[in-house]
Chain A
Amino acid sequence: MRMRLSQILISFALSAALLIGLEVVTSTILPALGWHEYRLTFNVLIILFLAIRLDSPAVPWMIMALQMIHSVFSIEGWALGTLAGLIVMTSANYLKDLLHLTTAIMTMITVQLFQMIWYVTVTLIICLKISNFDKFGMIIWSFIPGSILLSLISPLIFWVLEQIWRVPSDSGPRGVEI
């Protein structure tokens, strides 16, 4: 499936708008309702979709741009997530024959698996930056509840993104070329 540049730009703009909306929910609405303990990191979910479902040289740049938007809402910055996103994308490329996001359960399991790769990467880099590996387990553990919730809602978010990117949901393994 080939998309025109204008279509790619529109789909990307819509994904960015979705990310901004979801980041506002996480950073403002949920804390205002008393949800402080765990954050739902929706940027991970949107980037996972791009990394797993799309196949284009533009994907790394789109991951970087989405992470730059995320950095407005978090001191994490853009670079950590970009590197994690690229590692996930490369892993997905190697596992492409095994990935079939045809059912909600498969989507949840796949998303949970790649979230773990993401969080291990991010935690390793954070521990390297702060020169303290004592906190590795604690940081990873703090991601688990939020990541399970994200996996549970991932079929819905992926469905929305499939509409935005006009990717057929039964397209099987990775590699919907745009």
Chain B
Amino acid sequence: MKLIQESSKTKIVSNLIVSMLAIYGISQKQFKLDQPSLFHRIVTEVISPVQEGLASSKESMSSLWENYISIVDTSKENNILKKQISRLESDLTSMEEMRKENLRLKRLLNFSDELSHQRVMARVVGWDSANEFKVIRLNKGSRHGIKTMAPVITDHGLVGYVYRVTENYSDVLTILDQNNRVDIVVERTRTHGIVEGVFNFKCALKYIMRNEAVEVGDKLITAGVGGIYPKGIKVGMITDIAKENFGMTLSVEVVPSVDFDKLEEVLVLIPIEGVQAQNVTPAAPAVEKKI
């Protein structure tokens, strides 16, 4: 009886200590920027190469699913023939994939020539494993010059900014995340607003007054205020406008210009210290023109 009571006391004390630690941890947690702990750095450096390896074999995984698993019910002869065809197709697909990758990288490089930032090309190796956060992991880190708050783009537009960095990997808070807010300008009307992530790979445009003449199809670009994103990077397009019976602002739905489903390579823009202030503004019209 005494033993049971002691065990019960230990459980209560144990629960209390861990609860207090958790509450302290929650109070310290920031969803906009993070300094990784030593534990986080070590485990990320150990595990992320596995993620990187798996992400780079994406094509093989897709081939496995499409060409092998889905045909288990057909006859043996068909299997052999289909395997031969799929092998040839796989070769062709990988060649086509290389051609597409080449094209994408060329486009990215041409696009980035017009920006006055030092740029680092990186591959997406993983996504945040929690449902409520839209974060991607890149295969480049502080060793490659990446810093926190650095904007991340593709040739299609804005992806997000660097949230935390380890030696060889970095996490990017995408514009799909509810914690990321982007100051934007509606390209046609020059109306200012804020884009933030909502759900279902879409964003919401906030603080647009009811009397503003925004329309479905209007394009949104970064406003260049806030100190994170350079001006003129394409953010997305308005796809729906709802006027509620109450409130002063419109409810506007935005589809990002970057197709996050197919995101593979990105460019991280590192502001060049000292010249950043002069360079960002002159580069903006060129970026605007290009995007």
Binding site for B on A (CB under 8 A): 20, 23-24, 26-29, 31-34, 36-39, 41-43, 56-61, 63-64, 68-80, 82-83, 86, 89-90, 122-123, 125-126, 129-130, 132, 135, 138-139, 141-143, 146
**A173–B113 Cα gap in the complex (Å)?**
65
Chain A facing B: main interface SS: helix
Shortest 9 CB-CB distances between A and B: which pairs?
A79-B25, A60-B18, A74-B130, A82-B22, A83-B22, A73-B129, A57-B14, A57-B10, A32-B58
Task: Find chain A residues with CB under 8 A from B149 CB.
Answer: none
Instruction: Say whether B31 contacts A75, CB under 8 Å.
Output: yes
Q: A57-B11, A61-B14, A130-B31 are contacts. A79–B129 as well, Cβ < 8 Å?
A: no
Interface mask (B49-79 → A, CB under 8 Å = 1, otherwise 0) = 0110011001001100100000000000000
Instruction: Say whether A146 contacts B131, CB under 8 Å.
Output: yes
Cross-chain contact of A29 among B43, B54, B128 (Cβ < 8 A)? B54
**A122–B129 Cα gap in the complex (Å)?**
15
Instruction: Say whether A80 contacts B51, CB under 8 Å.
Output: no
Interface mask (B95-129 → A, CB under 8 Å = 1, otherwise 0) = 00000000000000000000000000000011111
Instruction: Say whether A82 contacts B54, CB under 8 Å.
Output: no
Task: Find chain A residues with CB under 8 A from B31 CB.
Answer: 75, 126, 129-130
Tally of chain B residues near chain A (CB < 8 A): 55
Task: Find chain B residues with CB under 8 A from A61 CB.
Answer: 14, 18
Instruction: Say whether B50 contacts A24, CB under 8 Å.
Output: yes
Question: Any chain A CB within 8 A of the CB of B1?
Answer: no
Task: Find chain A residues with CB under 8 A from B178 CB.
Answer: 130, 132, 135, 139
23 A/B residue pairs, CB under 8 Å, sorted by A: A27-B137, A28-B51, A32-B58, A33-B58, A39-B127, A41-B130, A57-B7, A60-B18, A60-B19, A63-B18, A64-B22, A72-B43, A74-B135, A75-B128, A75-B133, A76-B132, A79-B25, A83-B22, A83-B23, A83-B26, A90-B15, A135-B198, A142-B199
Task: Find chain B residues with CB under 8 A from A130 CB.
Answer: 31, 178-179
Question: Any chain A CB within 8 A of the CB of B47?
Answer: yes
Question: Any chain A CB within 8 A of the CB of B155?
Answer: no
Question: Any chain A CB within 8 A of the CB of B218?
Answer: no
Looking at A27, A41, A64, A71, the one whose CB has the most chain B CB atoms below 10 A away is: A27
Residue of B nearest to A140 (CB): B132
User: Within the complex, what minimum Cβ distance (angstroms) separates A13 from chain B?
Assistant: 14
User: Within the complex, what minimum Cβ distance (angstroms) separates A73 from chain B?
Assistant: 4
User: Within the complex, what minimum Cβ distance (angstroms) separates A106 from chain B?
Assistant: 25
Residue of A nearest to B64 (CB): A33
Cross-chain contact of A139 among B17, B23, B26, B132 (Cβ < 8 A)? B132
Q: A58-B14, A130-B178, A142-B131 are contacts. A72–B21 as well, Cβ < 8 Å?
A: no
Other A-B pairs, 9, CB within 8 Å; known A74-B130, A75-B173: A20-B47, A27-B51, A37-B201, A77-B29, A80-B29, A82-B18, A86-B18, A135-B198, A143-B132
Question: Any chain A CB within 8 A of the CB of B40?
Answer: yes
Question: Any chain A CB within 8 A of the CB of B288?
Answer: no
Question: Any chain A CB within 8 A of the CB of B5?
Answer: no
Instruction: Say whether B131 contacts A143, CB under 8 Å.
Output: yes
Instruction: Say whether A72 contacts B135, CB under 8 Å.
Output: no
Task: Find chain A residues with CB under 8 A from B200 CB.
Answer: 37
User: Within the complex, what minimum Cβ distance (angstroms) separates A81 from chain B?
Assistant: 9
User: Within the complex, what minimum Cβ distance (angstroms) separates A30 from chain B?
Assistant: 8
